[in-house]
């Protein structure tokens, strides 16, 4: 899409949580024509000042738009917003594109995809990698999948908010599988560290030593540095991602495995540990708290 | 230990495999007084040219030495070399130090430690992180544990072969626990990637896409880059570390867990996958081949 | 409830699969006043001849009834039948009892329970143990839970179709938990046998020997006799309970664990094995086929 | 072997724990010529009164015997007794038979088998099913494997102590695989019940209800009745089989799997739970205490 096409892009944006607000704000700052909608309209105030039109309903935010972006918290929310009566499917023009940027399960994405096809619309799944501040800085990773020309048409949006677009093929569910895999590997990294930290503690070694060995060696990566640090400091109250949300995501991973018949024993194990942590009252802690659950299982707490 | 002390250090070195030869060579090049011993003496030829005295027996390599270094393949080897009749325990002078640099189990290290205490000697466990070329370049990581003054006395050796010494406490077994944990986390990283690669393949996404997402993001670390690449390329014949050796190491991890009562479900799961790979004839492949075993379990092969 | 009360019991019956038909038939033969309803009305023909009134809608089958029994295949079916517009909740008189006899998840049961409370009705969950022929013979086990006086009011029904009623407390979900636990333990029994049969085959022992040891000893019970026999004979085409249904049930078990925060590692493991079997094309075989999946994982097939 | 042959059978018996004493006593009462040996000779006193010759060494108990029976606690004990200097292998006449009746690992059995072959002797592995009182009553189950004619020659012994001999083939290790499988399935039964009891407790159902459902239905077998009762009563101090011994057995199961490349995820899971129980101080309780460990993991304790 060239600059001329870009200027013809009229975007509706639904879902103004922290990430949605950051993305919408950046799009506005880069000159996109944006209508925004949130169930609780107060959240749109700042964006309105920055030039967004605040829509009063889903139908309203879809009206006259050739692209609608959703950034919603979970599958239930996107189901309601898109498939409900007067929802995106009912309201979006034929030929328009829905970019689903939240983290959703493959079943939800496939249901949306089928619904949009019936409506003559196109679905591009484009979950993002990174936090809201990365969105504001245009430094997200974007995993995009869907019909090739629809993905191409969305590129101007991706270029503004992200540093790289990872193309995950024609099937929108493929982008969900990639995003979920990323979260799954993060959970496995935490779980494995949790087990190892319990082990070395039992041998009288300060956790810090293992942290240094890992992060100065084979595991010199953000996942190990950030979560290893949380575990070493037992700083589970600094909640980057809550245990209950971790459980939700791992359930989506397992559901993705089930839909295509892939046994995922590491995910099963992680799920059991998350449940144990929640059973012990740590559901609202950062999901690094699985390390504490492991310590409990080892008789250390 | 200052330069004067260093020159008084007389080292016996047992075990001239690739890693042992690299370490011994570097020590020689840095002026250490070295006697070397290997069961098959041919392996000592190059070191002899470089100035090492080639000993004819374990007793001979220990004679008059205040430090003996072992770099042996497994627990059976070090048991035989140290605890056997005429072994290191029988031959090493009281007050001397045995530095065990191989990857050993906590039970073996504890047995050696007890034996050396009886002999009036000191054990420092100092397994290394890195490959032989890192040893030649003095770039190993060294995980050292044992009596504090003994570890301090060994520092000149560590400084020559390594870039950093990670001090793992007073108990020699602690160093083993750290080294085993590092290998354990590597195995978990491979297993989790194997599961994720099977998952995305089922969604029609090229494995390369997941590789890029991981290694440009949260998992930008050697473990993921090296092993992710092996899995994407299915290059399991490039054997960096064989599946059967992986099984040996994971068994040591589980034994370390058992000795101190730490359940390690991720290790249990990895062990089962390694066994499955071996059952399918992949025991001599690189242990990244657990990704192929996962693919089999998913009906992909 | 005495005989007089029993004669005042007017029952609506929804769901005429094999089990439903068997139960309804037995109730008719014992003189109960029965209206029956099935989505495909042909299935009601025999019961009509036996004296049942064939209702034309859910509203019709509920009309004037003080008890409605459902025997439906899954949670989606009971959700639709009870909570849908014009469903049981809308149609059943205040004060009447809904006996849910199918195998349902705890979440579904709790949702039904809440809905019925709002409608002034009572829910008794009463899943059954046994096959349709046991129902015809009045030899089912019945696990009943719900408000004590409602369960007591249902006793005449239970007495006719079952040999024993197991009372699982005031909370209807408790009956689901018991029934699901029973199925869960059956799956674990099959999985463990599958692993053991692979093991002894590798040692050159005929599976029959293990079968005899088990079933003449500690495991002389129907679960081991029936499923051990299937495994020994590799008679997976004799489908008593299909693998895909097994997966559905184990998912309900895991969901029950999740709802109350109970990690269930044996269920997780079984689920992974079921998925592996389905991935290899065995979804329609008897779920004893997990033993074949185990054999595959062991390199035996 | 007819009666004439039987009278020519001269038996040495090593290992007079509770089971060994019961078996030896029964053999004596049935007229066998028995020499007995135990490391602590006091245990032989009652058997001496009953007519046994009390030997003073392993060599002595083997002298002039054509059959030696061992009933020893573990692999270390049988290794020492058979393979040690002056042990059974050194002392037993060529052509004689060693019947190993303890529960041993496949690796130990294979090592014994190889050693006896070198010594011109034959090994029959014949682990028993049942408790000492069953031995006294001649009601054991016996799992026998080894060279066919050697097994046949031992039949008179088996007939006196057992109600049935299960023949597990030519390879002595096969009998170990069967016996270990039996113990493995028992552990799985306990673990699965433990998970289920935690589950139903969370739904407010009395454990007794699940117990009744299981033991009056699909699981009406001693394993479920005995261990289910222990769990319901939380009677873990009534130690039939201690958790630490359970761990030893499950390790033997896993080692048997490893030797022939059989992944055994249920055994891995059980091992982790046993370790957790031991970590919480329950190593000396009956191994049914894994149910309490499960309850802990569920936040119930």
Q: Do B258 and D265 touch (CB under 8 A)?
A: no
β pairing state of C140-144 and C128-129: antiparallel
Which residues partner with A145 through β-bridges?
A: A125
Residue range A89-99: mean pLDDT, rounded: 97
CA-based nearest residue to A72, from A8, A119, A20, A10: A20
Residues from chain C that touch B296, judged by Cβ atoms under 8 A, are: 296
Confirm whether A3-170 and A176-297 share one CATH topology: no
DSSP3 helix / strand / coil % (chain A, rounded to 5):
55, 15, 30
Preferred mutation among A297, A298, A300, A301 to probe D, highest tally of D CBs within 10 A: A297
Q: Do C279 and B297 touch (CB under 8 A)?
A: yes
Residues from chain B that touch C299, judged by Cβ atoms under 8 A, are: 276, 279-281
Residues from chain C that touch D193, judged by Cβ atoms under 8 A, are: 185
Q: Give per-residue pLDDT as tens, B152-173.
A: 999 999 999 999 999 999 999 9
Residue tagged active-site, from C179, C238, C248, C285: C179
Q: What's the confidence (pLDDT) of residue A6? A: 56
Q: Give per-residue pLDDT as tens, C225-267.
A: 999 999 999 999 999 999 999 999 999 999 999 999 999 999 9
Three-state SS at C212: helix
Question: Which subunits sit against C, judged by 3+ Cβ pairs under 8 A?
Answer: A, B, D
> How close C160 comes to chain A (CA, Å)?
40
A·B CB contacts under 8 A: 222
Question: Which subunits sit against A, judged by 3+ Cβ pairs under 8 A?
Answer: B, C, D
Q: Do B199 and A212 touch (CB under 8 A)?
A: no
Residue C2 has pLDDT above 50, yes or no: no
Q: Do C224 and D221 touch (CB under 8 A)?
A: yes
Q: Do A262 and C279 touch (CB under 8 A)?
A: yes
Nearest-by-CA chain C residue for A279:
C261
Query: CA B194, B200, B203 angle in degrees (round to 5)?
Result: 150
Residue range C38-44: mean pLDDT, rounded: 94
CA-based nearest residue to C14, from C75, C84, C102: C102
CA-based nearest residue to C102, from C33, C9, C190, C18: C18
Residues 6+ apart with CB under 8 A from B114: none
When pLDDT is cut at 50, 70 and 90, the band that residue C1 belongs to is very low
Q: Do D263 and B247 touch (CB under 8 A)?
A: no
Which residues partner with B299 through β-bridges?
A: none
Residues 6+ apart with CB under 8 A from A221: A215, B218, B219, B220, B221, B224
Residues 6+ apart with CB under 8 A from D31: D7
Q: Considering only CB atoms, which residues of chain D are within 8 Å of chain A?
A: 265, 276, 279-281, 296-299
When pLDDT is cut at 50, 70 and 90, the band that residue D260 belongs to is very high
Is the alpha carbon torsion for C156, C157, C161, C162 positive or negative?
Answer: negative
Cβ atoms of C178 and C168 closer than 8 Å = yes
CA-based nearest residue to A118, from A134, A94, A100: A94
Cβ atoms of D62 and D85 closer than 8 Å = no
CA-based nearest residue to C20, from C68, C82, C90: C68
Cβ atoms of C230 and C288 closer than 8 Å = yes
Nearest to D299 among A279, A297, A298 (CB): A279
What angle separates helix D172-202 from helix D243-259, to the nearest 10 degrees? 130
DSSP letter at A217 equals T
Residues 6+ apart with CB under 8 A from B67: B9, B10, B11, B12, B96, B97, B98, B99, B153, B154, B157
Nearest to D272 among B251, B263, B276 (CB): B263
Nearest to C299 among B280, B297, B298 (CB): B280
Across chain C, mean pLDDT equals 96
Q: Give per-residue pLDDT as tens, A267-298.
A: 999 999 999 999 999 999 999 999 999 999 99
DSSP-assigned states of every residue in A69-81: EE--SSHHHHHHH
What are the Cα distances from residue D268, in Å, to C190, C250, D217, D273? 16, 20, 28, 9
> How close A12 comes to chain C (CA, Å)?
34
Q: Give per-residue pLDDT as tens, A215-248.
A: 999 999 999 999 999 999 999 999 999 999 999 9
User: Complex ipTM above 0.90?
Assistant: yes
Q: Do C263 and A257 touch (CB under 8 A)?
A: no
What are the Cα distances from residue B221, in Å, to A229, B187, B189, B198? 16, 14, 11, 21
When pLDDT is cut at 50, 70 and 90, the band that residue D183 belongs to is very high
Residue B137 has pLDDT above 70, yes or no: yes
User: Helices in B71-218 by DSSP H: which ranges?
Assistant: 75-83, 88-91, 106-118, 132-136, 148-161, 172-202, 207-215
> Does B179 participate in catalysis according to the annotation?
yes
Q: Which CATH superfamily is domain D3-170 in?
A: NAD(P)-binding Rossmann-like Domain (3.40.50.720)
Report the distance separating Cα C286 and Cα C236, nearest Å: 5
Nearest to D200 among C178, C210, C216 (CB): C178
DSSP-assigned states of every residue in A153-170: HHHHHHHHHEEEEEE--S
Cβ atoms of A68 and A61 closer than 8 Å = yes
β pairing state of D140-144 and D128-129: antiparallel
> Is A93 exposed, middle or buried (CB count within 10 Å of its CB: 0-12, 13-18, 19+)?
middle
DSSP-assigned states of every residue in B92-127: SPTT-EEEE-S---HHHHHHHHHHHHHTT-EEEE--
Residue A4 has pLDDT above 80, yes or no: no
Cβ atoms of B9 and B156 closer than 8 Å = yes
Preferred mutation among C255, C270, C273, C275 to probe A, highest tally of A CBs within 10 A: C275
Report the distance separating Cα A143 and Cα A240, nearest Å: 21
Which residues partner with D123 through β-bridges?
A: D98
Q: Do A261 and C275 touch (CB under 8 A)?
A: yes
- B48's enclosing H/E stretch is helix B45-49
> How close D124 comes to chain C (CA, Å)?
15
Residue B227 has pLDDT above 90, yes or no: yes
Q: What's the confidence (pLDDT) of residue A301? A: 86
Q: What's the confidence (pLDDT) of residue D7? A: 57
Residue tagged active-site, from A49, A179, A225, A238: A179
Report the distance separating Cα B205 and Cα C170, nearest Å: 50
Q: Do D262 and C199 touch (CB under 8 A)?
A: yes
Q: What's the confidence (pLDDT) of residue B2? A: 42
DSSP-assigned states of every residue in D151-171: HHHHHHHHHHHEEEEEE--S-
What are the Cα distances from residue C294, in Å, to A199, C231, C270, C276, D177? 30, 11, 11, 9, 17
Q: Give per-residue pLDDT as tens, C146-155.
A: 999 999 999 9
Report the distance separating Cα C13 and Cα C32, nearest Å: 11
Residues from chain D that touch C164, judged by Cβ atoms under 8 A, are: 216
Q: Do B185 and A178 touch (CB under 8 A)?
A: no
Domain boundaries, chain C: 3-170, 176-297
Q: What's the confidence (pLDDT) of residue B1? A: 40
Q: Do B263 and D275 touch (CB under 8 A)?
A: yes
> How close A275 comes to chain D (CA, Å)?
8
Chain mean position to CA B283: 19
The edge-to-edge listing of strands for the beta sheet with C162-167 is C128-129, C140-144, C162-167
Where residue C225 falls (left for φ over 0; alpha for ψ -120 to 50; beta otherwise) is: alpha
Residue range D52-69: mean pLDDT, rounded: 97
Residue D223 has pLDDT above 70, yes or no: yes
DSSP letter at B202 equals H
> How close C268 comes to chain A (CA, Å)?
6
Nearest to A268 among C247, C271, C278 (CB): C271
Q: Considering only CB atoms, which residues of chain B are within 8 Å of chain D?
A: 247, 251, 257-258, 261-265, 268-269, 271-273, 275-276, 278-279
> How close C279 comes to chain B (CA, Å)?
5
Q: Do D280 and A299 touch (CB under 8 A)?
A: yes
Domain C176-297 coded CATH 3.40.50.300: no
Residues from chain C that touch D213, judged by Cβ atoms under 8 A, are: 129, 141, 143, 166, 178, 181-182
Work out the number of other CB atoms within 10 angstroms of the CB of residue B253.
Answer: 28
Residues from chain C that touch B280, judged by Cβ atoms under 8 A, are: 299
Q: Do A185 and B214 touch (CB under 8 A)?
A: yes
Nearest to C213 among D141, D212, D213 (CB): D141
Residues 6+ apart with CB under 8 A from B124: B97, B98, B99, B100, B144, B145, B146, B147, B150, B151, B154, B172
Report the distance separating Cα B243 and Cα B248, nearest Å: 9
Residues from chain C that touch B281, judged by Cβ atoms under 8 A, are: 299
The edge-to-edge listing of strands for the beta sheet with D97-100 is D53-54, D33-37, D10-14, D67-70, D97-100, D122-125
Report the distance separating Cα C75 and Cα C106, nearest Å: 10
Report the distance separating Cα B121 and Cα B172, nearest Å: 13
Q: Give per-residue pLDDT as tens, D96-117.
A: 999 999 999 999 999 999 999 9
Report the distance separating Cα B292 and Cα B198, nearest Å: 9
Q: Do B262 and D279 touch (CB under 8 A)?
A: yes
Across chain A, mean pLDDT equals 96
Residue tagged active-site, from B179, B238, B248, B285: B179
């Amino acid at each position: 899409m060239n600059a001329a096409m870009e200027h013809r892009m009229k975007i509706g944006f639904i879902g103004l949580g922290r990430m949605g607000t950051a993305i919408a704000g950046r799009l506005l700052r880069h000159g996109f024509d944006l209508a925004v909608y949130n169930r609780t309209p107060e959240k749109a105030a700042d964006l309105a000042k920055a030039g967004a039109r605040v829509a009063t309903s889903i139908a309203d935010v879809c009206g006259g738009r050739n692209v609608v972006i959703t950034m919603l918290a979970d599958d239930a929310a996107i189901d309601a917003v898109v498939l409900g009566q007067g929802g995106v499917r009912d309201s979006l023009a034929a030929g328009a594109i829905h970019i689903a940027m939240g983290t959703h399960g493959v079943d939800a994405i496939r249901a949306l995809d089928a619904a949009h096809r019936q409506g003559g619309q196109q679905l591009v799944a484009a979950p993002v990698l990174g936090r809201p501040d990365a969105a504001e800085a245009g430094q997200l990773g974007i995993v995009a999948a869907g019909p090739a020309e629809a993905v191409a048409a969305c590129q101007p949006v991706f270029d503004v908010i992200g540093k790289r677009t990872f193309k995950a093929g024609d099937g929108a569910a493929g982008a969900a599988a990639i995003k979920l895999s990323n979260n799954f590997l993060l959970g496995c990294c935490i779980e494995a560290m949790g087990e190892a930290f319990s082990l070395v503690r039992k041998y009288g070694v300060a956790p810090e030593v293992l942290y240094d060995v890992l992060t100065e060696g084979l595991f010199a990566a953000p996942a190990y540095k950030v979560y290893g640090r949380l575990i070493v400091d037992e700083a589970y109250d600094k909640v980057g991602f809550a245990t209950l949300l971790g459980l939700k995501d791992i359930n989506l991973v397992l559901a993705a495995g089930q839909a295509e018949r892939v046994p995922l024993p590491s995910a099963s194990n992680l799920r059991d540990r998350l449940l144990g942590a929640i059973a012990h009252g740590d559901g609202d802690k950062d999901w690094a708290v699985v390390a504490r659950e492991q310590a409990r299982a080892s008789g250390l707490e």
